[in-house]
Amino acid sequence: AQKITQTQPGMFVQEKEAVTLDCTYDTSDPSYGLFWYKQPSSGEMIFLIYQGSYDQQNATEGRYSLNFQKARKSANLVISASQLGDSAMYFCAMRANNAGNMLTFGGGTRLMVKP
């Protein structure tokens, strides 16, 4: 079975600073993908970034980067130069090839950006 753990229920960050949101995962499948989604108060889940288990380099998408440490089974999201619009819930998710097509989600982290 797959499991995602996000240990930070809530975090504050000052505008323009960087912040790291933690995610650890557990799977026995050697082939898997890791995803981060943002959910603002409007409710829509917005895809941010993807990391494959066989990718050699950490994924980056604009101000988002993923600190992937395979041996530690962690996939932390780093947001650089935080903006007020970054305030939202952030979910880490995994899809393992032997688990079908479903995404398994962590419990989420609520990020609040202070002006």
Q: Which is nearer to another protein, 81 or 102 (CB)?
A: 102
With 0-12 CB in 10 A as exposed, 13-18 as middle and 19+ as buried, what is 12? exposed
Task: Provide, rounded to whole angstroms, the least separation between the CB of residue 107 and another protein.
Answer: 5
Query: Applying CB under 8 A, which part among 19-27, 30-38, 67-75, 76-84 lies near another protein?
Result: 30-38
3: left (phi over 0), alpha (psi -120 to 50) or beta: beta
Site string for another protein, 37-76 (x = CB under 8 A): x----xxxxxx--x-xx-----------------------
Indicate the DSSP class of residue 6: -
DSSP 44-59: --EEEEEEETT-SS--
Give the footprint of another protein on this chain (CB under 8 A).
31-33, 35, 37, 42-47, 50, 52-53, 91, 93, 95-97, 100-108
